[in-house]
């Protein structure tokens, strides 16, 4: 069985599992490295951070570029399907007819770290997104004192596409991604006792 066959089977299985996952408070699975990745549905506090980010970014976007929330981004040739928290993407004529976004039309992905699964955003997605050709990846981490990391500039490292640049921020800093600014001053933090 080829990697393409495996991905096709995982994609079909994802569709079956996804419908069941919604009934039990989980997200639709993502696919990476030949496996399904199950995640819990985001909690309100997680989505509130996303809401604040969206309110900041949308007014800055030029015509023909939009911000989408929790939308599949898929590169079947790599066997990767991710569902980022926020995606800045070209508004193309075929967008209304697509099941997933083409990563080549993505300008920026923002992931909001969940309390219990930070490695997915900090390791796995840092590997997947440059492979998919996503030029800018920002991680917003509402845990503890609040922080963020911006990744950009894709090069080849150890034979694989990887982000060449990484810059760290604290809540209160402004992150610049091209012409766009993300002010982290008023982003909520998770409470010490919160689950996600």
pLDDT tens across 112-124, in order?
998 878 888 999 9
Q: With H, G, I as helix, E, B as strand and everything else as coil, classify residue 68.
A: strand
pTM (2 d.p.): 0.91
Quickly count: other Cβ atoms within 10 Å of residue 10's Cβ.
19
Gap between the Cα atoms of 135 and 166, Å rounded? 12
For range 62-84, the mean pLDDT: 96
CA angle, 34 then 155 then 10, to 5° = 10
Q: What percent of the chain has pLDDT over 90?
A: 66
Residues 6+ apart with CB under 8 A from 140: 49, 53, 110, 111, 112, 113, 148, 184, 187
Banded model confidence at residue 52, pLDDT cuts 50, 70, 90: very high
For domain 42-183, give the CATH superfamily: tt1808, chain A (3.90.1570.10)
Q: What is the mean pLDDT of the chain?
A: 90
Q: What is the pLDDT of residues 137-166, one digit of tens each?
A: 999 999 989 999 999 999 999 999 999 999
What pLDDT, on the 0 to 100 scale, is given for residue 24? Answer: 67
Bridge-partner residues for 183, per DSSP?
174
């Amino acid at each position: 069985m080829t990697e393409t066959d495996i991905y096709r089977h995982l994609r079909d299985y994802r569709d079956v599992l996804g419908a069941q996952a919604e009934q039990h408070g989980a997200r639709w699975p993502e696919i990476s490295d030949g496996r399904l990745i199950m995640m819990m549905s985001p909690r309100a506090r997680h989505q509130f951070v996303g809401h604040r980010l969206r309110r900041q970014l949308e007014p800055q976007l030029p015509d023909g570029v939009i911000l989408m929330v929790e939308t599949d981004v898929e590169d079947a040739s790599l066997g990767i399907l991710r569902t980022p928290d926020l995606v800045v993407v070209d508004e193309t004529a075929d967008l209304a007819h697509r099941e997933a976004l083409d990563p080549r039309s993505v300008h920026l992905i923002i992931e909001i770290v969940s309390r219990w699964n930070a490695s997915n955003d900090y390791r796995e997605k840092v590997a997947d997104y440059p492979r998919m050709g996503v030029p800018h990846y920002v991680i917003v981490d509402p845990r503890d004192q609040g922080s963020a990391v911006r990744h950009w500039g894709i090069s080849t490292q150890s034979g694989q596409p990887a982000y060449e640049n990484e810059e760290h921020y604290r809540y209160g800093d402004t992150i610049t991604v091209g012409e766009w600014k993300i002010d982290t001053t008023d982003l909520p933090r998770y409470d010490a006792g919160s689950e996600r």
